[in-house]
A and B are shown apart, each in its own frame.
Chain A
């Protein structure tokens, strides 16, 4: 295994509020890596730093040896990091299929002339995109909804669509921000199966934020624990489960 994403001494402050302090860890290629911590621990902030939504205050993030600071989100995506959002951000007025096709943007090329002239190359690319999008929708299990507007999809399927859209960019690292939020236990189980399947199928590296500790324990190979913007520990689920500070701080009577 090689090191894919490296977070090195990363800090972030909003005005005077320190959201993250000197966080360091790295994610190996091919692993399912979890990020857990109580509300306000800085998980989503870290996500936003990695994906270029927010600028880093101090420290370095490298992906595949390539520094990510100051790169805009679309360039980071091109390097191979795709993400989903905590509070689902689909293009609600577009169909599921179109959402996925937008996700394919970085892997397609047709420009303005191609759009107007619709030459053979553009048509081929369009057909290919459509087929690929269908394939991805089938993979996440919502192909029957391909022509439904994203806004009209049931909640769980919206989460799945967001995953399909992220996959469309053929990422090496897929970052999922609370993918199981608001799901019932059986939906969570099938989501976890899906994530395992994707991990297998694409040889993906997964970075997952989730509140549900049980869910994460079963899913992840390793996990990092954040609390008040600081890294508590990085370890396997079993070790994390028995880490004194984890138990004391917020696992409480959960285990």
Chain B
């Protein structure tokens, strides 16, 4: 049996989580032109919060879906508040500062969050309570687990909702206008601060869900997990064309698939010279190659500088 289909499924699942997290990067970048370096840590906090609540409620009389939902909602609420707080404290005062200044505060914030998480939840891996369905479906010889299915459906739904929110609602229009030109949007009566706040809430909520899904998928969470997740998601956002929402979705899915196929095939392709421990190298190589061919990302517009 070829591993192709299996790796494709795994890649799609992983990729849809990357996409959810990448959306947060891309939305903030689109509006503020800022790499929200702390976004990966928000994802981690989301996973941690959800796990804390779920672990606490496990064994209570509540039905399992309610327990999971309680964890998820806590994570969403907590991450939204956190996102707002970070924007307020670390980014807003620096909106007109030199461009790298908010990048440094963002780095500072992620160091704070990481160490805070370590102080609260410790250095060890935290495992997901055994509440999740363990079944799987056979897809042409490959295995699609229930958890994978849940992840695929959830993220597909969320992406559809977000896409129509941005494209079809007045709020979405205001967001796009602010991304184009905050000053002009302000003249049109759009409160840029409110739009930025909304962006952070949406991005952080998606990160919280992403974190929850990742910890459900791997059955684990760890205070350091946000770093690599954030890095991958950011790469995905760049791959798709940063600032572009559909690009982030595409980039996330692609990166997940590339990574997963790379991990599966890199050994056979190189006759065992390189093993699957090179899967990240593979992902980055593809990222770099794509950017060299399409410097603005897959769906990004090349902003030719008009004099």
Q: Interface on A for B, CB 8 Å cutoff?
A: 44, 47-48, 53-54, 85-87, 89, 177
Contact = CB atoms under 8 A, between A and B. Distances in A.
Contacts, number: 13
Interface of B: 304-307
A89 B306 CA distance: 12
Interface of B is mostly: loop
A177 B306 CA distance: 13
B295 to A, nearest CB: 15
Nearest to B304: A54
Contacts of B304: 54
Contacts of A86: 307
**Closest 6 A/B residue pairs (Cβ):** A85-B307, A48-B307, A53-B307, A44-B307, A86-B307, A54-B304
Contacts of B307: 44, 47-48, 53, 85-87, 89, 177
Contacts of A87: 307
Given A53-B307, A54-B304, A177-B307, 10 more contacts: A44-B306, A44-B307, A47-B307, A48-B306, A48-B307, A53-B305, A85-B307, A86-B307, A87-B307, A89-B307
A53 B305 CA distance: 8
Contacts of B306: 44, 48
Nearest to A48: B307
Contacts of A47: 307
A177 B307 CA distance: 10
A47 B307 CA distance: 9
B304 to A, nearest CB: 7
Contacts of A85: 307
Contacts of A48: 306-307
B155 to A, nearest CB: 33
B227 to A, nearest CB: 34
Nearest to A54: B304
